[in-house]
Amino acid sequence: MSRLRDIPEVVGLDARGGVIRIPPELDVPITDRVRAIIDSAEFRRLAGVSQLGLVSLVYPAAHHSRFEHSLGVYRLALLFLRHLSYDDRFSETITVQDAERFLAASLLHDLGHWPFCHPIEDIRLPNVPRHEMFARGFLEEGELAGVLRSSWGIEPAEVVSLLNDKPKDRTACILKSLLSGPIDIDKMDYLSRDSLHAGVPYGRNFDQGRLIGSLCLNEAGDGLAISEKGKTAAELMVFARYVMFSEVYWHHGVRSATAMLQRAFYLLHGSLDLDGLFRMSDAPFIAALREAARETPAAELLEGLFGPTRRLNKRLAQYSIFEQPEIYARLARRPYPWLARCAEVLSARLTLATGQTIAPHEILFDAPPVEREVEFNVDVYFKKARTYRRLGEVSPVVRALAREQFDDYVKRVRIFTHPRLAEQLRGMKDLAQHLHATVDEMGP
């Protein structure tokens, strides 16, 4: 019998007590050493950091926290471990100590997230760290570092390495694929949890149990694969991710709010104490931004997001790979400073054309970021034929939602404007000409 199933937290999956209940009616096993992590000040901070941030301006129930999500990811880590313990190659490679390091990492994988982290990371400012690297400061010193050493027998640097570093051996490759891969504990939780709290069905329309029950190692033995019986569940997970991006994460209202926050942060970041700011939870973070924005153009943007009256900018134009692909190609994946400058040039052109003063911050460009989403593909093991094939080879669904199509079809280029200007600017017959001239002026 694999010793992995003797890990106290894995045993706790079948216990009646010692659990925390999280939506949707899930019991999460809590041992003393797990409690020591989740009761630490660094981890408790995540209870005040929204998982979806600005999405709640469109889907008002989406207020769940990264604390809740982290518990959900940890629970899935236990289910992954328990199932894979029956895989001889997995249990021969992964020791109890490796598994415990993986469990700690599953709890702590979002520790470096600050409020509205992903929109801020996407504009790729040179003085803004990746959240994975920002977690290092929480893990390598202070209360959590002591908990990892005393309660888990783990050096904090081991968790940091698992979360951040490129795997250097087979064990690290396997554990990394469980944490961050085509089918991983993070993706499996956030799709279903975000869908639940947003009040939409899309992210829950795949069979988690069937998918977990199909997990195995790939042919090389250095990463996750699925057996043939999990193929349909994996296809549905791919589609769930596609629809969640289309209908929730890249909903035009959500992206309007995102564009407003990004421009405000871009205008303010040089005057902010980023290290202190990124250690805050949502409420003090917002308060600090609004204080820094006093008497600046950023104040109006932040007032529309966080003031007493919700006021999102209106969609002026939209482009995708099938809606004017030429202009889409010229704007997608541009560096954010280029997009901000492009918006300034367009606002100046429109001011001359309309005779009405249009401030630079009243025109916002929102475009797919430089970094693409990870391509969803995984090996499928066909037992009778004793062969592995890529999911994209045997699934028309996955093949149709390959990386390029996924990003280009759900992440559109949009131009937003202040509500007071929307009707007038939408009625301009030569709006498209002004946009083309602006892009031409900006150059390649």
C-beta neighbour count of 60 within 10 angstroms: 10
Q: For residue 432, give the DSSP letter.
A: H
> Exposed, middle or buried: residue 380 (CB in 10 Å: 0-12, 13-18, 19+)?
buried
User: At residue 288, what is the residue type?
Assistant: A
Tokens matching residue 392: 């994209």
Q: How far apart are the first and last CA of the chain?
A: 62
What is d(CA 73, CA 70) in angstroms, rounded to the nearest whole number?
Answer: 5
Rg (alpha carbons) of the chain, rounded to whole number: 23
Pairwise CA distance, residues 293 & 199, whole Å = 33
Helix/strand/coil for 354:
helix
Q: Is 414 helix (H, G, I), strand (E, B) or coil?
A: strand
Cα distances from 1 to residues 5, 88, 94, 271, in angstroms, run 8, 10, 14, 58
Q: Write phi, then psi, for 426 (nearest 5 degrees).
A: -60, -30
Query: For the domain with range 252-368+411-442, which CATH number is right: 3.30.70, 1.10.10, 1.10.3470, 1.20.1250?
Result: 1.20.1250
Strand order in the sheet with 314-319: 314-319, 413-417, 363-366
Collapsed DSSP state (helix, strand, coil) of residue 314: strand
Question: DSSP label at 296?
Answer: S
Q: What distance in Å separates the CA atoms of residue 225 and residue 182, rounded to the nearest whole number?
A: 9
Q: H helices of 109-220, where?
A: 117-122, 131-139, 143-152, 156-164, 170-179, 185-198, 208-213
Q: Are 87 and 216 in contact (CB under 8 A)?
A: yes
Residue 284: exposure state from Cβ atoms within 10 A (0-12, 13-18, ≥19): middle
Residue whose structure tokens are 């995540």: 46
CA distances from 122 to 243, 371, 407 (A): 21, 8, 14
At how many degrees (to 10) do helices 185-198 and 66-84 cross? 140
**DSSP three-state, residue 321:** coil
The two tokens of residue 442 are 């900006």
Task: Using alpha carbons, select from 300, 252, 305, 268 the residue that is nearest to residue 416.
Answer: 252
**pLDDT for the residue 324:** 84
CA neighbor of 389 nearest in space, from 381, 377, 398: 381
pLDDT for residue 341:
95
Read off the pTM.
0.94
Phi and psi at residue 208, to the nearest 5° = -60, -45
Please report, for residues 205, 317, 333, 348, 436, the alpha-carbon distance to residue 357 in angstroms, rounded to integers and kept in the order given: 48, 20, 29, 8, 21
Q: How far is CA 68 from the centre of its chain?
A: 15
pLDDT at residue 342, rounded to an integer: 95
Domain limits, the chain: 3-250+375-393, 252-368+411-442
What's the confidence (pLDDT) of residue 373? 77
**Single-letter amino acid code for the residue at 244:** M
Residue type, 310: R
Parallel/antiparallel/unpaired status of strands 215-217 and 387-390: unpaired
> From CA 68, how far away is CA 338, in angstroms rounded?
37
Residue type at position 438:
T
User: Which CATH number is 3-250+375-393 given?
Assistant: 1.10.3210.10
* Cβ pair 206, 237 in contact under 8 A: yes
* pLDDT values of the chain reduced to their tens digit, one per residue, 444 residues: 689 999 999 999 998 889 999 999 999 999 999 999 999 999 999 999 999 999 999 999 999 999 999 999 999 999 999 999 999 999 999 999 999 999 999 999 999 999 999 999 999 998 888 887 788 888 888 899 999 999 999 999 999 999 988 899 999 999 999 999 889 999 999 999 999 999 999 999 999 999 999 999 999 999 999 999 999 999 999 999 999 999 999 999 999 999 999 999 999 999 999 999 999 999 999 999 999 999 999 999 999 999 999 999 999 999 988 888 899 999 999 999 999 999 999 999 999 999 999 999 999 999 999 887 777 789 999 999 999 999 989 998 888 876 667 788 889 999 999 999 999 999 888 888 988 889 888 877
